Structures are given as C-alpha cells and as structure tokens.
Structure 1
C-alpha cells in the first residue's frame, strides 16, 4: 500500500502524540512537554487558526508529520508559513515520504495565498540539509538567533 499524505484529523490525536514524542525526545533529545500540552497543540492546529499539520500514513499507521505555523512578513505585508517540523520515522527516512510531506506543505502555502514558506534545521542535521538542497530550496541570508523566554 502506498504512503498517503493528508491533513491531520481528530482521530490522529493519540498516534500523533506518540509520533511527536519520538521526534521531541527520541530524535532531538529534548524534554517531553507532556501529552496534555502536545494534544492541546495538535487540537489548535486542527482548527487551522495558528497553523496546519499533515501526517504521512502507511497501512493505517502514522509514520511522519509536518507542521506549519502562520505568521506575517512585514516586508511582503502578507501571511507566510513557517515549517516548524518535518519528521519521518527511521524506517522511512530514505524514501520519498519526506519529499511528499515537504511538497504538501509547499502546496498548502501556495493554495492559501501565502507569500512563502520558511524553516530552519539544526546545523548538525546534514541529512535534512541535503534533502532541502535536493528539493530546490535556497539557503537564506539571515542569521538565526533565539533566547529563552
């Protein structure tokens, strides 16, 4: 059965929570914010007021997800999407699943009249950088900073 990319549904809540745990804790080694916090985030994304979320599904099992958040560009005076997450389980990382999730995010951005989609990846995540380079993405000219709230 082929891999299906679709928008997240309410019945994805538990399996998507588990997949996001693999992403946050397993892949990035960050502390888990808790099921309740993640499920609140997923529910807010389902309403598509703060963003949109897509899942990759194979044989009825979620194997990946991508998250877009909405913001605005002062330079363009238009809405833009920020692809905050793109994650696929290890067994499917060398296939086309990541490319299809990326394409769905790009399609959503275009269909909803957003000026562009942007994202960041860890400096050490060379595999992701190779994927984005292969997909025709251009590295930005801005230096990324962050600070604790």
Structure 2
C-alpha cells in the first residue's frame, strides 16, 4: 500500500484524537489533556492560522500526524514554522511515513514563505535524532529551556 500525506480534515477528528492519545500518553507518558482540549486544538489548526496539521494515511487509515505552529524570528524578521509533533504508529516507524511527513512539513514551510522550520526532540529519543540527521537536518547550537 502507498502512504499519502495530506492536510487534516474535519472527518479526521476521532482517529486523529486516538493517534494523539497514543503520542501524548503512550509514547511520551504524559497525562492526557482531555478530549475537549485536544478537539479544540485540532479545530484551531484546521484554519491554518496558528499552524497546520497533516496526517499520514495508508488504505484510508490514519497512521501518523505532524503539527506545525507559526511564530516569528526577530533575527530574520520573518515568519517561521515550529514542527511541534511528528508521530507515526509503531508499525510504520523507521519507514517512509516518517520521512514523508517530515518532507511535507518542510515543503509546506517553503511554500508558505517561512524563513525556516525548526523543532526539538527529547534528548533520549535517539531514533528520532537519527531520522532527522538522515533526512539532512543539522543539530542546532541553541540550548532549550522551559518554565512553568
């Protein structure tokens, strides 16, 4: 079967929420923010004002997703895309689905005039780091911080 990447559509809500649950709870072991919060996030992404979301589909079944959020760079004085998520189900990892989702995000970034696309991944997610390096990405020189 062929894997297709496309923009998220309103009919994707339930299967996409299930994928996002696998990602948030299953992969990263984080608490689920709740169906209502995730549904609101997906709906906000559908209009592509705050970001864009894409799904990987094989035989009409969602097998992965990626999410871009938009912000601006003072250094470039231009809009940039932050790839916040890239996730595929276990069966499709290390295959074409991940590479196709990544390439789609990269092309979307170019096509919509963003200066660049950036992202972070967990220090322990060595498999993802290998994927990104294999796809031509370079490790950044900035140190990531957060505060709550």
User: If the TM-score is normalised by the length of the shorter chain, which range does it land in?
Assistant: over 0.9
Q: TM-score, normalised by structure 2?
A: 0.99
Runs of 4+ that moved beyond 4 A: none
What SS does the aligned partner of 1:44 have? Answer: helix
Distance 2:107 2:82 in 1: 13
Structure 2: any 5+ residue segments left out of the alignment?
none
Alignment RMSD: 0.5
Residue 95 of structure 1 and its aligned partner are, at CA, apart by 1.0
Measure the CA separation in 2 of the matches of 1:116 and 1:57: 26
What pairs with 1:1-149 in structure 2 (closer than 5 Å)? Answer: 1-148=1-148
Please state how far the C-alpha of 1:46 moved relative to its aligned partner: 0.2
Residue deviations 1:1-57 (CA, integer Å, cap 9, x gap): 201100000000111001000000000000000011001000000010100000000
Gaps of 5+ in 1: none
**Structure-1-length-normalised TM-score:** 0.98
Q: Cα deviations across residues 38-96 of structure 1 (Å, max 9, x unaligned)?
A: 01000000010100000000111100000000000000000000000000000000211
Q: Say how many residue pairs are matched.
A: 148
**1-side partners of 2:60 and 2:112: how far apart?**
28
CA distance in 1, matches of 2:94, 2:80: 29
